[in-house]
Structure 1
Amino acid sequence: MTSTNDRSYVYTTYIRSTAEQVFRALTTPEFTMQYWGGAELTSDWQVGSPLEAVHPDREDFIGKILAVEPPHRLSYTFTGRAEEAAGRPPTVVDFTISPFGDEAVKLQVLHTGFTADEQGEQDIRDVGEGWPAILAALKTLLETDRPLAGPGHYAPRTPARA
């Protein structure tokens, strides 16, 4: 994980899985709700389409799909409804999935576009806590076929259908 002076956050992890499985986990609501704190990431995953993280108990994030290159790259904007209503610019999340030996992949998340103000600093701190928890839960799910039992905001939900 790295926070750089250019208003970016980078996190890299290695997962015993395939690029196809990781990409599917990033884009399938039944998977996301098991590692993204119970949120179902919903979209048709076409460039320009909306993205919404749906959770029954809270508002999560919204965005727009910027790039979809299965199974190696996914990018979208990232903001909250309140931030959008206040005119704050969205940030951008870019996932890159590449081979790492014969049994694993390298997953890198680059989160950019944080504003150079107090809110931007808080946003970087927030993603600095959020991304490691989300990606650890994703790694655990893919490697063990069981969700990571996180507390509170990070708690998984079981899919209604598998």
Structure 2
Amino acid sequence: MTTTEQSDATYVYTTYIRSTAEQVFRALTTPEFTMQYWGGAELTSDWRVGSRLEAIHPDRDDFIGEILAVEPPGRLSYTFTGRSEEAAGRPPTVVEFTISRFGDEAVKLQVVHTGFTADDKGAEDLRNIGEGWPAILAGLKTLLETDRPLAGPGHFAPRTPARA
């Protein structure tokens, strides 16, 4: 069963990072950072509303999207889909990050992922991001708090920045 009807499924993940909102926002939007915690993918865009976002990895096709909101250092949102899903006419999902102070030394980072289709593929996507977001955000937290990438296996393995 395939459909473009959206379900009301929402995935929410919250973490707390000993960092600043500015550093977290920079880590979300800078390829040299993303490749160290996002499974080696370089997230590239000019980070303007309406611009294209690409996750580039030398060994696999990753995701693409469109920037929906950029409000440094507190909010970032974009669409999220695979190239094959886009070619098949499937609607993208939507990711929104909110970053806020949490005491004197930390920030609260919340990710809300919505827009899953009300079919088997949408349910599969929801299951997949339920594994992906915790790993990605644990990698982000580790990188910012220790200045070292989290050594994840396989698809979650970091890469060393090609340029610094």
TM-score by length of 2: 0.95
Distance in 2, matches of 1:33 and 1:100, equals 26
Superposed CA deviations along residues 120-151 of structure 1, whole A, max 9, x for unmatched, are 00000000000000000000000000000000
Runs of 4+ residues deviating >3 angstroms: none
RMSD over aligned CA atoms reads 0.8
TM-score by length of 1: 0.96
- Unaligned regions of 5+ residues in structure 2, if any? 1-6
Distance in 2, matches of 1:92 and 1:71, equals 19
Distance in 2, matches of 1:64 and 1:104, equals 29
CA deviation after TM superposition for structure 1 residue 7, in Å: 1.2
- Residue-pair matches, total: 158
Distance in 2, matches of 1:22 and 1:126, equals 24
Distance in 2, matches of 1:161 and 1:125, equals 34
Distance in 2, matches of 1:37 and 1:118, equals 25
Superposed CA deviations along residues 32-61 of structure 1, whole A, max 9, x for unmatched, are 000000000000000000000000000000
Superposed CA deviations along residues 40-91 of structure 1, whole A, max 9, x for unmatched, are 0000000000000000000000000000000000000000010001110000
Name the SS of the counterpart of 2:97 in structure 1: strand
CA deviation after TM superposition for structure 1 residue 161, in Å: 2.7
Q: Which residue of 2 aligns with 1:30?
A: 32
Superposed CA deviations along residues 70-125 of structure 1, whole A, max 9, x for unmatched, are 00000000000100011100000000000000000000000000011100000000
Name the SS of the counterpart of 1:26 in structure 2: helix
Distance in 1, matches of 2:74 and 2:119, equals 33
Identity of aligned residues (%): 86
Q: Which residue of 1 aligns with 2:56?
A: 54
- Unaligned regions of 5+ residues in structure 1, if any? none
